[in-house]
Amino acid sequence: MKIRAIALNTFKEATRNKIYYLLIFFGIFFVLSSKLVTLLTIGDHVKVLKDLGLASINFFSVLIAIFTGIDLVYKEIERKTIYNILSKPISRSCFIIGKFFGLALTLFVALISMVVMFFLFMLLFSGELDVRILVYFILLYFELLIITSISLLFSSISTPILSSVFTISLYLIGHVIWTFNEFKDKIVNPIIKIISYILYYTLPNLEKFNIKNSIVMNIDIDIGMILSSICYAIFYIAALLILTILIFNKREFQ
């Protein structure tokens, strides 16, 4: 009940932020303007519409996840409203979990609004509605939840600017960590090898949620891999939230 109240309050607070609407607006704007880009290309226009639409939604929803995630916890600390909340019979873990679910709801609403516009747009210009794209959006949502939990972790220990830098860095690392897979087996030094293995398995692997290519190019999607990616996301988020709670519990507010 307490978690629900914090989550709803977080959602309300996030939706009051103008940046939230601005990012949704730009996401939708880029989806719609992809029609103009198809005028410059030759060949499969529907493929380009899908590529640009999915890339726009991906990019702007990641920005929403990073900036709303960072902003909300830090604001509570900065404005000292956290004293009010924590003076009530609400544990710090409830506060973090409530914040996470509130941000998850905020992201869900933002993503849904962009997805609906994307589907309407595709229906209008290509006359087709590829329901397989929904699978991509489900995976994207889980990727966003991981990013949110990362931003929540950093925002509870650092300033907004540093949190943004750390979260964006981890987001970028998450999308190139697959290259590490080839690299780590070639290391000869056993200590560096162990370190590289630890890094490979502890850093987020976000590329597994990126099935844009399979969706757009009509390549078969492996359901087992999708379920495995969702399970990965759930456990990774759980680990990050526990870590955030542990750090947040130790933190002293002055």
Site track 185-224 with another protein (rule: CB under 8 A), x = hit: ---------------------xx--x-xx--xx-x-----
| Residue among 49 and 104 whose Cβ is closer to another protein | 49
User: How many Cα atoms sit within 13 Å of 162 on the Cβ side?
Assistant: 8
36 lies in the site for another protein, by CB under 8 A: no
5, 22, 33, 41: which one contacts another protein (CB under 8 A)? 41
35 lies in the site for another protein, by CB under 8 A: no
Identify the residue whose tokens are 């750090």: 247
* Amino acid, single-letter form, for residue 95: F
Exposed/middle/buried for residue 200 (C-beta within 10 Å: 0-12, 13-18, 19+): middle
| Residue among 7 and 52 whose Cβ is closer to another protein | 52
Site track 49-78 with another protein (rule: CB under 8 A), x = hit: --xx-xx--xx-------------------
Binding residues for another protein, per CB under 8 A?
37, 40-44, 47-48, 51-52, 54-55, 58-59, 171-172, 175-176, 179, 206-207, 210, 212-213, 216-217, 219
